[in-house]
Chain A
Amino acid sequence: NAGVTQTPKFRVLKTGQSMTLLCAQDMNHEYMYWYRQDPGMGLRLIHYSVGEGTTAKGEVPDGYNVSRLKKQNFLLGLESAAPSQTSVYFCASSTLREQYFGPGTRLTVT
């Protein structure tokens, strides 16, 4: 089992560019999440999904969109990147409570 994987591991974008982060899990989990981690802020929930075809807003959803077309994949999109979106992004999946995290994507927006 690979667990939770994230693609890419690193990315540098210019302001206004777009990109998609891919999260994949092989544990057949219903729930999936996208977080961002910033120094001194802990992890903040961006969007989450309670099942295939569903998505919902978390704590800091502005500037991001998500899709869950397949149960095992959860995509995070940035339509027009801004420097404030420079962060480390983590994906997680869970059955009901215990969340399993991916290794993260370090995104820099210049």
Chain B
Amino acid sequence: AQSVTQLGSHVSVSEGALVLLRCNYSSSVPPYLFWYVQYPNQGLQLLLKYTTGATLVKGINGFEAEFKKSETSFHLTKPSAHMSDAAEYFCAVSSNSGGSNYKLTFGKGTLLTVNP
């Protein structure tokens, strides 16, 4: 069974500061990993994804994440936070094999607050 742990249900940063949102996963097979963002009263939007190949993945709005197999992590970063980054962020994992590779398992989410 797959699982996702997001460390910190709420992260607060100042505008211009580094954003680091943590995600650890467990999977018995090589995973596909995703970060989604949810703005208030909206659905989820894909930020970035790791499937195979390069372990540093760049996404929209200046975000990036690095897949570290040895640490089973897929942390999301952005060098300089903007007020518009305030949202809830979800990490998700899907299986890379077998009959369930179309299903995602989500973490509980991290709410990012950006202070002026």
Contact = CB atoms under 8 A, between A and B. Distances in A.
Contacts of B107: 42
Secondary structure of the A side of the interface? strand
Secondary structure of the B side of the interface? loop
Nearest to B34: A98
Contacts of A104: 41-43
Interface in A88-105: 90, 92, 94, 96-104
Nearest to B9: A40
A98 B102 CA distance: 8
Interface string A59-83: 0000000000000000000000000
A36 to B, nearest CB: 11
Interface residues of A, number: 24
B98 to A, nearest CB: 13
Interface of B: 9, 32, 34, 36, 41-46, 49, 51, 90, 94, 101-104, 106-109
Interface of A: 4, 31, 33, 40-45, 48, 50, 58, 90, 92, 94, 96-104
15 contacts: A31-B102, A33-B103, A40-B108, A42-B90, A42-B108, A43-B44, A43-B90, A45-B103, A90-B43, A96-B101, A96-B102, A97-B51, A99-B104, A101-B43, A104-B43
